[in-house]
Amino acid sequence: MRASHSSPRPLGHRMTTPANIAGSYQKIATETATPGQLIAMLFDGAIRFLDRALVCFESPDPLEFNQGIHNNVRRAQAIIHELNASLNMEAGGELARVLRRLYLYFDMRLHESNIYKRPQGIREVIERLTVLRDAWTEMLQRRENAASGS
């Protein structure tokens, strides 16, 4: 009887899994995205983390309830801080000033929701971020259509 011999995987070789494929796709997407597309991705990411936080409100496990809400809200806040930091206050004029106030308001509402473990502020921020994201992606689409002559 012959022993089967399989060659060991080279160091650094990763198995192909759905998570690895998704991670690779996301890395390529962020590296090739325009600045406008990156902002849309930030909106999507914040909304996704806040949706996850809302799911954690349903957890019967106190640790999962508290940590899940906290961690996901903090991730969304970090994205909102990045959106705020990306504003060009000189070139953006009144729109940049309004967005700055809105992002600071979002941060305050999320902080309150996280401290008191109440979902209302999270729901409000999701609703408002969704409106901003939809308007932003529509603006990007119109700009793309105008550039291509459609």
The percent of residues in the chain predicted with pLDDT above 90, rounded, is: 75
Assign 83 a pLDDT band (cuts: 50, 70, 90): very high
**Residue 59 domain boundaries:** 35-145
17 assigned to some structural domain: no
9 assigned to some structural domain: no
CA separation for the pair 103, 127 (Å, rounded): 13
62 assigned to some structural domain: yes
The percent of residues in the chain predicted with pLDDT above 70, rounded, is: 81
Q: Which residues contact 95 (CB under 8 A, 6 or more apart)?
A: none
Mean pLDDT check: name the lowest of 10-14, 75-79, 134-138: 10-14
Task: Please report the pLDDT score of residue 21 as a whole number.
Answer: 63
Q: Which residues contact 46 (CB under 8 A, 6 or more apart)?
A: 76, 79, 80, 83, 129
Residue written as token pair 């962020």:
30
Mean pLDDT check: name the lowest of 29-33, 79-83, 109-113: 29-33
Task: Please report the pLDDT score of residue 34 as a whole number.
Answer: 92
Task: Please report the pLDDT score of residue 5 as a whole number.
Answer: 52
40 assigned to some structural domain: yes
Tokens of 4: 């089967």
Q: Higher model confidence: residue 17 or residue 21?
A: 17
pLDDT in tens, 101-135: 999 999 999 999 999 999 999 999 999 999 999 99
2 assigned to some structural domain: no
CATH assignment at residue 44: 1.20.120.340
The answer on pLDDT for 4 being more than 90 is: no
Q: Higher model confidence: residue 19 or residue 25?
A: 19
User: What's the predicted TM-score (pTM) here?
Assistant: 0.80
Contact call for residues 132 and 39 (beta carbons, < 8 A) = no
121 assigned to some structural domain: yes
Q: How many domains does the chain have?
A: 1
Contact call for residues 25 and 36 (beta carbons, < 8 A) = no
